[in-house]
Amino acid sequence: MAAKNGGTHYIAVVASGCENGYHIKQQFTKQPQPSKKRSSIEPQANIIKSAIKRSARFASSRLHISAHRLVSYTQPGYNFTSSLRHFSPPSFFKNSLMIARLRWLVTAVAVALNLFVYFYPDLVNSPGQCLWKGEIVESKYPLLNEYLPLDNVYLQALLLNFPSLRAPRNNATHNNDKVADIHMLTFGDPQINGNWASTKYIKRLDNYGNDYYLGHIYKIMKARLEPSHVAVMGDQFSSQWILDSEFYNRTLRFVERLFPRDDDYKSTVVETWEKHENYDWQAWLERERNMDLGVRFNLRKYDDVYDWVHPNQKELNLQNPLFINLTGNHDIGYSGDATWQHMARFHHLFGQDNYVITYNKGEPEEWRLVVLDSLTLEGPALEEDFLKFTWSFLEHLNETNKDFKGSTVLLTHIPFYKEEGICVDGPEHRYYENYEKEPYKNGKLRSQNHLLHETSQKVLNIVFPNTDKEGLILTGHDHEGCSSYYNLVDGEWVASKEPILDGAAQPIHEVVVRAMMGEYDGQTGLVTGQFDYDRQEWKFDFKYCSFVVQHWWWASRVAALVALLVHLIAFLTK
């Protein structure tokens, strides 16, 4: 650099750098009166010159070094000063080249993992597996619909994964004088855990991540398929033995993280959680006991309901589908330990345990959705009133069968009776015996895998009165899942792995919905109902859309965080 002072020019050359742990800086200045002396500075000049050359070479290793041309020390009129001081650069500073390369590798891994978890329906499953049966999704751009083959699996995958490209689905219940298909998502036994004062932080983190893993499945499938109905097959929680406070906490997580809904559809849950007061189950008990059984049934009988908040709305709500929560043994308990407190808070936050919705009543396309609390069908029960209420519901339902001509979809938690070997869980009933902790439970029902044979026969006869019509049973409880058929043979319903088609009666398909937990690959069950106008009857189809074990979801999130951290380090070490 050059500076002018009183007509005299000063010329300075500066070199600085790092070499072998030392910071080196030299400055040479041209003086107004050149000096002839040189011998006193030559030895040090040679040392510094050598160090500066090494510093210049070291600059290629991406350290922050500036090195300028070193002029001759022996020329008249030049002096120089030099300084050496010890300097220890941080280790990541020395490895900045490696960090720069590493960040792109980590970024590539993070992008790949996140693409995988967001597009898993088409990457993990076979073509058409994660789509309603018979549906062809159209683009909102007419030219694409006209010139591209819409039945192409890759084009369908594109439209399903990018809602902004596809045409809005029709929310009318009838199109061109034909009834809309039934589109229902089913989720088996999420069983979310809770946090206690003694819960370790790693377990709290695991619970937190598990909520969003399950919520990720629902978010992807809801945006992709826009169902009209969603059913959780019971066992929302991992234990019924929790106080009201923890029940409120988990229910809030359920509607905020797992199955998020608009504010109007979760207001009761949020308000109850904010108050955090024990629910007045005694008042609920009195109302239920004093209610006439006929009135009780009428309050649990609905027609053409597609929206719980707006029940008079007679069109499909594809943004907030009709949500159905079944009672599970981990929600209210088996009948031998279910209490009024269990039942009251479930009704308050999740809805009724028994009800029926009839669609298209009196028309050829008539069908009904029956929600049944199978946990209160058998005993001995701790509260016999629960059994009385459930059997009364079935008796009143039976009285309506004379006017019902359609098909039935039954949703319940406990599977029906079947012999050993058809499903993973065989028939089993256990009862409290010598139970000293709570001796009043001795002799009462403690657990069950299936309903009893006699109970199964009674329920199937009532719920499926039109044996010439196809029907569907959806249950939970057995996490492994199962598919079987109930065939009416000589007046008795007999379970088999495959349907028996040699009789006049239609087999009833029972699907035990495989759990949506990560251990079971995050399953979503897709139910499609289509009305066959040639045969004048409903046809039902069930299939799974599988995710993967939760570790892949965790890996995608961790990889994204690591990539962000590496990019930050690379930026700071420039």
User: pLDDT of 116-157, one tens digit each?
Assistant: 999 999 999 999 999 999 999 999 999 888 888 988 889 999
Choose among 532, 525, 528: nearest CA to 181. Answer: 528
Residue pLDDT, tens place only, 169-222: 999 999 999 999 999 999 999 999 999 999 999 999 999 999 999 999 999 999
Residues 348 and 403 in one domain: yes
Euclidean distance between the first and the last CA atom of the chain, given in angstroms as a whole number: 26
Domain count, the chain: 3
Give the pLDDT of residue 502.
81
Residues 43 and 153 in one domain: no
Residues 145 and 230 in one domain: no
Residues 150 and 279 in one domain: no
Residues 215 and 139 in one domain: no
Residues 439 and 531 in one domain: yes
DSSP 8-state assignment for residue 59: G
Residues 353 and 497 in one domain: yes
Residues 147, 150, 154, 156, Cα dihedral to 10°: 130
433 forms beta bridges with: none
Residues 155 and 174 in one domain: no
Q: pTM of the predicted model, to two decimals?
A: 0.83
Residue pLDDT, tens place only, 236-254: 999 999 999 999 999 999 9
Give the pLDDT of residue 100.
74
Mean pLDDT in residue range 357-362: 98
Instruction: Provide the residue range defining the domain that includes 131.
Output: 126-168
- Which residue in this structure is represented by tokens 């280790």? 91
Residues 521 and 487 in one domain: yes
High-pLDDT (> 70) share of the chain, %: 83
Residues 212 and 280 in one domain: yes
Residue 561, judged by CB atoms within 10 A of its CB (0-12, 13-18, 19+), counts as exposed
Domain assignment of residue 510, yes or no: yes
